Amino acid sequence: MTVKTIGLDLAKNVFQVHGVSETGCKIFNRKIKRAKLLAFFESLPPCMVGMEACGSAHHWGRELRKLGHDVRLMPATYVKPYVKRGKTDAVDAEAICEAVRRPTMRFVEIKTEDQQALLAAHRTRELVVRQRTQVANMIRGLLREFGRILPTGVEAVTAFSKRHLEGDHPDMPELANGVLGALCYQFLGLNARIDGFTKLIESHAQRDADARRLMQVPGIGPITASAIVATIGDAKQFKTGRDLAAWLGLTPLNKSSGGKERLGRITKKGDHYIRKLLIVGMTSRALMAKLHPEKVDIWTARMLAGKPFRLATVAMANKSARVIWAMLTRQEKYRQPVA
């Protein structure tokens, strides 16, 4: 029998492969070490290979495609229902092989090396931002213990850190001032790293035609545009703009039954990073609309007037996702809504 479909369970060193024939009969289920994996697939005829979209999946997907195989990545949550009793590598590989053969299965587009490199810059910047927030909270907490309160905002912590390193120390014990000095030095260093990553991402966004096009949408800057282009890749993998909004977790959770339609909060599935960037961008847009109502389009004005603020910003993010899909699939510029 000739193998037609393979389920590959990824790991660090030892991989599990499960191969079946065209009729679904099991041909092999064996372990293969990392160094011998490509040689094993080179010896096989071109076939469909299924993998979970997890760490290193995009790398192995690119490598196996070079060998002529039809590689398909699937979300791990969609593979889980096909796992039989027990939890072993062999069972997981069999479940992947079964799931990839389903005609209604949804697949993940394999990312290029350039996409992953740009996303690495985004993830690292996001990590440094979280670290800066932690250090800022530590500085505020230490000052609060000695009766000193800083104003809200990163700018206040930045200004205090600069003053402290220049010698303007608060009236605190010398030991506490020494610890505070180390925290201030770390905080300013993280600020500099964030600025460096931001400039790097902005320069890549200016060189990309799709990112420049998306930056025309109100509320979308170079960081958001760059993350969307690097993550989505080919927007034509989504049939409609609603599919993209649903993939980002911006559509309501549907709990309909018995002919009664019940819509709840947004699903919050999909890419958390892009969803957060879109909602933050729309929040900034909504705040600007309150300051300059004469510059706001009719739909946004009605949404802000008739809905709670956070609900309105999420709805704006949902609509922006649909606009993004239309711009990327049709290669069009942003058009301001007609009154």
How many domains does one find in the chain?
3
Q: Which distant-in-sequence residues (6+ apart) come within 8 Å of 213 by Cβ?
A: 327, 328, 331, 332, 333, 334
Whether 268 maps to a domain, the answer reads yes
Same domain, 271 and 291: yes
* Domain end among 152, 177, 207: 207
Supply the Cα-derived Rg of the chain in whole angstroms.
25
173 exposure class (CB count in 10 Å sphere: 0-12, 13-18, 19+): exposed
Same domain, 156 and 190: yes
pLDDT at residue number 192: 97
Whether 107 maps to a domain, the answer reads no
Same domain, 246 and 199: no
Residue indicated by tokens 């309160």: 149
For residue 189, give its domain range.
Answer: 116-207
Q: What is the pLDDT of residues 46-101, one digit of tens each?
A: 999 999 999 899 999 999 999 999 999 999 999 999 998 888 999 999 999 999 99
Residue indicated by tokens 């300059």: 292
pLDDT at residue number 81: 94
pLDDT at residue number 67: 96
pLDDT band at 262 (very low <50, low <70, confident <90, very high): confident
Residue 55 token pair: 């760490």
Residue 118, pLDDT above cutoff 70:
yes
pLDDT at residue number 177: 94
Same domain, 83 and 121: no
Same domain, 128 and 197: yes
pLDDT at residue number 260: 83
Whether 109 maps to a domain, the answer reads no
DSSP summary character for residue 261: -
Q: What is the pLDDT of residues 287-326, one digit of tens each?
A: 999 888 888 888 889 999 989 999 999 999 999 999 999 9
Same domain, 139 and 58: no
Average pLDDT rounded to a whole number, residues 27-56: 95
Q: Residue 254, SS3?
A: strand
Whether 312 maps to a domain, the answer reads yes
pLDDT band at 286 (very low <50, low <70, confident <90, very high): very high
Same domain, 77 and 124: no
Number of Cβ within a 10 Å radius of residue 250 = 27
Same domain, 216 and 172: no
Whether 10 maps to a domain, the answer reads yes
Residue 92, domain CATH: 3.30.420.40
Amino acid at 307: K
Same domain, 80 and 166: no
pLDDT at residue number 338: 66
* Domain end among 172, 207, 242: 207
Whether 106 maps to a domain, the answer reads no
**Across the beta sheet with 14-20, what order do the strands follow?**
26-33, 14-20, 5-9, 48-52, 70-74
Same domain, 229 and 131: no
Same domain, 220 and 317: yes
Whether 160 maps to a domain, the answer reads yes
pLDDT at residue number 270: 86
Q: CA 335: distance to chain centroid?
A: 26
Whether 246 maps to a domain, the answer reads yes
Query: Could you tell me the maximum CA-CA distance found in the chain, to the nearest angstrom?
Result: 82
pLDDT at residue number 339: 57
pLDDT band at 233 (very low <50, low <70, confident <90, very high): confident
Residue 141, pLDDT above cutoff 90:
yes
Q: What is the pLDDT of residues 185-197, one digit of tens each?
A: 999 999 999 999 9
Average pLDDT rounded to a whole number, residues 111-140: 97
Same domain, 240 and 190: no
Q: What is the pLDDT of residues 85-96, one digit of tens each?
A: 888 999 999 999
* Domain end among 190, 207, 224: 207
Residues 7, 83 contacting (CB under 8 angstroms): no
